[in-house]
Structure 1
């Protein structure tokens, strides 16, 4: 099939056209030089023949989404968006390389690089999910590389919010990396389908082909759809790919969404566990904390403070004057000789007049003080109780048995939160990460296997369980 020629680059004020970078189904990408500030940028321009009201909405949504998310280190940065003089919408983006999406077919990524790329791109997807956004087109060609070698996720062109995904038609999906339920029109996108796409993308970077693509055979769209919805991916024919990594990817590409990792964050942690097993440094998770922006928002504590009126005294220093309450009346003694004499002044002096507080008001203030102290003690008790509930739980009832030649360790859920995981360590080996409360070990007759289980919460581990050792007796 002949490829179409790129469209005519538009005349953009403040930019000088350099050359064509690439073409897609809905847009062309050109290299421009921005005049101020001086830099090279990639400009994505919609094709005139496809500019409809729906496509314009998609393009505007992409601009807004990428602008909101592009502060993430693994999401392509968008500088600006507008409409050219000839009516074509365009995006001005950071100039990146498409090397990963181009070279993986001839030079598949090494395992350490693939794991690092997987963690970083998955971190971008997890960040989008926390913002309520599905990407819906995760694939190798949408992974670019910055000038500093950092992978970034691009092309949110068919992204949808999590709430809209169930009713929004998927437009322009990429079949080789789309989940079975998406291809069968059961959904246009979910978190589970994004996990599938991440697994398929990482598989592709390691295999040099998409998961259901068969070398030397028909790989038409209909053939691929048939294999994705009916079959299983071909094994990764690479001796340097550990079995644990292949298991993680196969789980991500399970036919049933419920069998996959429950979130992208869980997928990331399983990739990190593979890095640990290989003796590699863990690629950090790039997910913003929920409270990172509190410093720029209204301080919740500030809402409990008494707001005063700032005034300036004759010396020029600022002091806070308390705003009188409209619900309280302060009784002052009249400005009289008695008041002034009680303050130690003589009639006609300019000494300040001190208020004479009624006994009832004094008792009220004392009672309020006692109440404040009592509330403070109660609040401290509540805080202690809340903080105790956020402690990382520990497994206390680890048990083991031999079943059909396999040693099976089980335990009860000590109270995990949805994002918590178990780290199961066998002897001195690096721990395995999982959510299940069962762990199986194949052991030779006569061997003794010792296991400890620790709960991991947000990268921090709690107290490990007491070691449990089980011996597989020799066969009779």
Structure 2
């Protein structure tokens, strides 16, 4: 039970959370609600969930990041996120059929812009893959699931190595780093490769040879496999190979640089060039996310002390009048059945008179 929402149906389930479709009462709209599973709530999971809520709230104004509507605690004490409902995912799309080249390049530029915005804010996603690229009701790609996001320069004593093997960079699989800008460049390129090829870069046609251990060994050697789909322009392999070098220092140095190559490829192929939209620089340093916050979140409570209301009560007893020379004069009104406050506003802008009778607004002249 979630106040202000009506349950519709389940959407999916994961290791730590379930996702349901709800209808919000006001404003009236459908929403995907991600709720922590009761048996999965512990300090580490709560920390990740708090960080996900904060990161998504901070970044979701970007057109290519899923919008978060609300985050709070359900009636049975389970934290939840209410997000925009997206009816499809890129994972489902590529499994039906490989995507057109123009669409993949467009998706790449949009996601690179979203990730560049996150990086400029000092945040890493750390789980870029097709199933975390949703398709909203307008058919546009949006990045979701910041559940294992982290600070770009985390100073914590320990690192959490969470990964989705087929799209993870070699250095992440070797646990040399839990994430970096260059490892995210790799993951985005591996995701785009998957959309074009219909499978992840290091998968083989023989599914028995695609266990996590076998994929990890092939990725660790990181010899770029050319796109297996016939008829694709060679420039696409050049583009993706530059982002999937085994040595991180040889990849594109930033998402902005990767986006430049994607947009140049669009131009060379005679395709519409997608706009690269990132947040303004002054936005990046505001409101840092606290990644180690394990506190229980709940309804907002006023932080205004009760004693501070005395000043407001005293102010109600003061009226402002105008003397013969047109200058404001303040005096204390007497207690009576009729209290009138005269407010002089703006010299030269006329006199505004607001009358309060027994505490209620009765006239404006």
8 Å CA contact retained: 1:158, 1:171: no
Match of 2:100 among 92, 103, 110: 110
The CA deviation at 1:106 is 2.8
Match of 1:408 in 2: none
Match of 1:473 in 2: none
Separation (CA, whole Å) in 2 of partners of 1:90 and 1:156: 14
The CA deviation at 1:166 is 7.8
Separation (CA, whole Å) in 2 of partners of 1:132 and 1:237: 36
Match of 2:213 among 195, 208, 222: 222
After TM superposition, where is structure 1 displaced by more than 4 Å over at least 4 residues in a row? 165-168
Q: Say whether 1:275 aligns with 2:266.
A: yes
The CA deviation at 1:265 is 0.4
Unaligned runs of 5+ in 2: 285-321, 328-344, 349-365
The CA deviation at 1:103 is 2.0
Match of 2:326 among 310, 314, 317: 314
Q: CA deviation digits over 1:119-151, x for unaligned, max 9?
A: 001110000000000000000000011111111
Separation (CA, whole Å) in 1 of partners of 2:91 and 2:138: 17
Separation (CA, whole Å) in 2 of partners of 1:165 and 1:280: 43
SS in 2 for 1:55: helix
TM-score by length of 1: 0.59
Separation (CA, whole Å) in 1 of partners of 2:15 and 2:277: 31
Match of 2:280 in 1: 289
Match of 2:228 in 1: 237
Match of 1:399 in 2: none
The CA deviation at 1:172 is 3.7
Separation (CA, whole Å) in 2 of partners of 1:75 and 1:40: 18
Match of 1:89 in 2: 79
Aligned-residue Cα RMSD (Å) equals: 2.1
Point out the more displaced range, 92-101 or 174-183.
92-101
Structure 2 CA distance for partners of 1:63 and 1:221, relative to 1, 3 Å: same
8 Å CA contact retained: 1:165, 1:187: no
Separation (CA, whole Å) in 1 of partners of 2:144 and 2:158: 21
SS in 2 for 1:79: strand
The CA deviation at 1:48 is 1.4
Q: Say whether 1:73 aligns with 2:63.
A: yes
Aligned ranges 1:28-427 → 2 under 5 Å: 28-164=18-154, 168-217=158-207, 218-291=209-282, 314=326, 318=347
Q: CA deviation digits over 1:179-219, x for unaligned, max 9?
A: 11011010000101010101100001101111111111411
The CA deviation at 1:238 is 2.5
Q: CA deviation digits over 1:212-238, x for unaligned, max 9?
A: 111114111100100000142421122
TM-score by length of 2: 0.76
SS in 1 for 2:96: coil
Structure 2 CA distance for partners of 1:167 and 1:208, relative to 1, 3 Å: farther
The CA deviation at 1:241 is 2.4
The CA deviation at 1:26 is 1.4
Q: For the pair shown, which has the larger CA radius of gyration, 1 or 2? A: 1
8 Å CA contact retained: 1:98, 1:141: no
The CA deviation at 1:57 is 0.6
Structure 2 CA distance for partners of 1:52 and 1:134, relative to 1, 3 Å: same
8 Å CA contact retained: 1:248, 1:270: yes
Q: CA deviation digits over 1:50-97, x for unaligned, max 9?
A: 110010010000000000000000000001111222221110000012
The CA deviation at 1:165 is 7.5
The CA deviation at 1:248 is 1.4
Separation (CA, whole Å) in 2 of partners of 1:284 and 1:142: 22
Separation (CA, whole Å) in 2 of partners of 1:240 and 1:258: 31
The CA deviation at 1:277 is 0.4
Instruction: Report the count of equivalent residues.
Output: 292
8 Å CA contact retained: 2:89, 2:132: no
Structure 2 CA distance for partners of 1:292 and 1:221, relative to 1, 3 Å: closer
Separation (CA, whole Å) in 2 of partners of 1:168 and 1:276: 44
